[in-house]
Structure 1
Amino acid sequence: MRMRLASLVLAALALGAPSARAEDAARIGCVPPGVWADGTGTAMEPVPLLRRLAEAPVVLLGEQHDRQDHHRWQLHTLAGLHALNPDLAVGMEMLPRRLQPVLDRWAAGDLTEAEFLRQTDWRSVWGFDPNFYLPILQFARLHRLPVVALNVERSLISRTARNGWAAIPEAEREGVGTPAGPSEAYRSRLAETLAAHDRPASQAGSANGVTPTDAAARFIEAQSVWDRAMAEKIAETRRVTGRAVVAILGEGHAAHGDGVPHQLADLGITGTAVLLPWDADRDCDELDGRIADAVFGLGPSIAEAEPPRPRLGVQLDPGPDGISVGAVSDGSVAAAAGLRSGDRILAAAGNPVRAPADLVAVIRRQAPGTWLPLTIRRDGADRELVAKFPAEPLPGR
């Protein structure tokens, strides 16, 4: 019965993959919708690919946190792997270690969705729409798969970014060990991320005795601690349960074999597979052969049918020191207000913004046709912007 189910799942995942036409690739993107491809963008047969992945000790399913299609892809990929290998555990970046007892009660079927969201304090702890993740959690519970909290408290990462790992007493490290040094390529990418989200080094000078070089080093160290924490929980789960671990986490922690895969290798876990969803409008030059073991092409995003509500129109990128604007939708409230990619949002309507949930909560209280004052940091200087919400909410994020 299981083999028949596996064949059906694989057949569904294979539909249309190898037969995608070259003109479709040119029209839609380098990885057409429904196609599995390797890290160079070359189409792969999905059945052999998934059979091979099902034998990996760890499979990392990357995501952009606010993209619903990414989470749908994660669920379908998880289902395909489970059809081939039922001995799985599901790891989730979204929750810190202290909430493992709540996840255990959820997996055992002892909590309703409402109770689970309340006991995890989801909106404050993670902040992104729980409906993106609940289908994955429901799948795990349905099949009685262990669900593992991979993360640590955000405050630990923030403290590392401010003061350095060495300044944090061992008793306050949540059991996290010292991370393996990151590769030079990973350092470079993280430094570019910091530069995009903060003031340029040429303008920074020294502040509170911390030079731009020191700040960059601590930012990279904080990211490495974050990666190490998740890798340790994955390795522990693999060692204790003997199950393959499928981890749901942000793409930046997995791409190019850096981040979590690098820390896993240092912990003795080799053969980690990295899979990523590939949006139709994504730059094909990123397919450098190293970004992932495989990518899956997604079609253009289609707005979900839902009751209208106020929308700012930005992609939010959480980081050790708060949230930054990753992208601004054309024609959105954010674009009209002058928000730019890389702006760090400090406050909304006078309320401090430290996590996506903080901003979401303020926006949800915003009435159509009203103004929302925002305090942002751009190029090292704090600025005040005003977002005006139309009488009817606009589509978009």
Structure 2
Amino acid sequence: MQRRDCLRTLALLAMATALPGLVSAGQEAAMHRVRDLRRGTWLSSDALLAELARAPSVIVGERHDNPHHHRLERWLIAQLAARGVLGGVVLEMLDREQQAFFEGVPGVLLADLPDSELRGLLDWQRGWDWAAYGPLVRQAFQLGVPLRAGNLPREAIHALAMANQAPALPERVARAQRQAIVEGHCGLLPETMLEGMLAAQVARDRAMAAALALLPATAVLVCGSGHARRDIGVALHAGSAPVCLGLVELAPGQDWSSALPESVDAGPPFDLAWFTPPAIRHEDPCAALRQRFASP
């Protein structure tokens, strides 16, 4: 084995040994624990990883501004790689046009580029915090696994939104998606834009499912928590049976079941839920939207 490969292996083992906050299954508190919502049991770290390693793909749903979630994602990817089952990584934060900029370039040649060069090569979008996702991009390149764009280009999303045509969906799914879109826009989205936003959301779900289908097991998709829901998200459009893992914020003293979104069917919204502390938010996330929709 060459020296570079030895160093990469040592780095991988270092990442894989540090478990970021998962407590023992014997503790009563839900914080930092993983719940199997299908079976009604709590999972140890070993049981969690065994479950994920058997899956053709894993959809990990995050709150985009929560650093606890970003650390957990990197840990999960390192663990699957250490077990030799990581088939690749799909990111909602990359779109198909960006994919062309690094397609076919060995990841080891990209992993050590300075931040400014790597961001430029990827045409990284300012809407996604590089401090949060840059380490995840580098990790995929360092591990030598395929990195795939999960999102549609901005122009395609804009065109779908402007066409304002509702996609074909079961009514219960469409209703839940509309509600999530309205809540995600702080109740400020004009009703005339709702069907177009729904069409764009569903098209993005389908694009992420298609990107996952191009990778061998076990592929990992990192996306927003709404996309990761089994009842309304990417899983509806996936050909295989992904495991949907929601990273769920849990406030101090909050009952874990109340932190979960309400499912639109008899099943749970996620297969597995990993409860984490909420992010510390110093700014009103709705302030920018209020300013945007107030502008003439």
TM tier, shorter chain? 0.7 to 0.9
For 1:87-102, list aligned pairs within 5 A. 87-102=86-101
**Alpha-carbon shift at residue 195 of structure 1 (Å):** 3.8
* Residue type of the alignment partner of 1:55: R
**Alpha-carbon shift at residue 15 of structure 1 (Å):** 5.7
Q: d(CA) in 2 for partners of 1:13 and 1:44?
A: 15
| Partners of 2:228 and 2:235 within 8 A in 1 | yes
**Alpha-carbon shift at residue 17 of structure 1 (Å):** 2.3
Q: d(CA) in 2 for partners of 1:157 and 1:98?
A: 13
Q: d(CA) in 1 for partners of 2:152 and 2:278?
A: 34
Q: d(CA) in 1 for partners of 2:186 and 2:16?
A: 45
- Distance change in 2, residues 1:293/1:258 (3 Å): same
- Distance change in 2, residues 1:52/1:228 (3 Å): same
Task: State the SS of the aligned residue for 1:43.
Answer: strand
Corresponding residue number in structure 1 for 2:23: 16
Q: d(CA) in 2 for partners of 1:147 and 1:38?
A: 28
| Partners of 1:20 and 1:32 within 8 A in 2 | no
Corresponding residue number in structure 2 for 1:121: 123
For 1:188-203, list aligned pairs within 5 A. 188-196=175-183, 197=185
Q: CA RMSD in A?
A: 3.3
Match of 1:291 among 259, 265, 269: 269
Q: d(CA) in 2 for partners of 1:230 and 1:18?
A: 33
Q: d(CA) in 1 for partners of 2:61 and 2:237?
A: 16
- Distance change in 2, residues 1:285/1:157 (3 Å): same
* Residue type of the alignment partner of 1:38: D
| Partners of 1:103 and 1:148 within 8 A in 2 | no
**Alpha-carbon shift at residue 130 of structure 1 (Å):** 0.5
* Residue type of the alignment partner of 1:251: S
- Distance change in 2, residues 1:253/1:301 (3 Å): closer
- Distance change in 2, residues 1:263/1:95 (3 Å): same
Q: d(CA) in 2 for partners of 1:194 and 1:248?
A: 19
- Distance change in 2, residues 1:297/1:106 (3 Å): farther
* Residue type of the alignment partner of 1:223: Q
Match of 2:35 among 8, 21, 37: 37
| Partners of 2:36 and 2:43 within 8 A in 1 | yes
Give the total of aligned pairs: 272
Task: State the SS of the aligned residue for 2:94.
Answer: strand
| Partners of 1:257 and 1:274 within 8 A in 2 | no
Match of 1:279 among 249, 252, 261: 249
For 1:104-183, list aligned pairs within 5 A. 104=103, 105=105, 107-110=107-110, 111-122=113-124, 125-164=125-164, 181-183=168-170
Q: d(CA) in 2 for partners of 1:145 and 1:77?
A: 14
| Partners of 1:58 and 1:245 within 8 A in 2 | yes
Corresponding residue number in structure 1 for 2:289: 344
More displaced stretch, 282-291 vs 218-227: 282-291
Query: Given the alignment of the two structures, is residue 251 of structure 1 paired with residue 225 of structure 2, yes or no?
Result: yes
- Distance change in 2, residues 1:183/1:46 (3 Å): farther
- Distance change in 2, residues 1:86/1:112 (3 Å): farther
Corresponding residue number in structure 1 for 2:70: 71
- Distance change in 2, residues 1:106/1:65 (3 Å): farther
Identical aligned residues as a percent: 26
Following TM superposition, the consecutive aligned residue runs of length 4 or more in structure 1 with deviations greater than 6 angstroms are 198-201
Q: d(CA) in 1 for partners of 2:280 and 2:289?
A: 28
| Partners of 1:14 and 1:46 within 8 A in 2 | no
| Partners of 1:9 and 1:80 within 8 A in 2 | yes
**Which structure's CA Rg is the greater one?**
1
Task: State the SS of the aligned residue for 1:95.
Answer: strand
* Residue type of the alignment partner of 1:84: R
Q: TM-score, normalised by structure 1?
A: 0.60
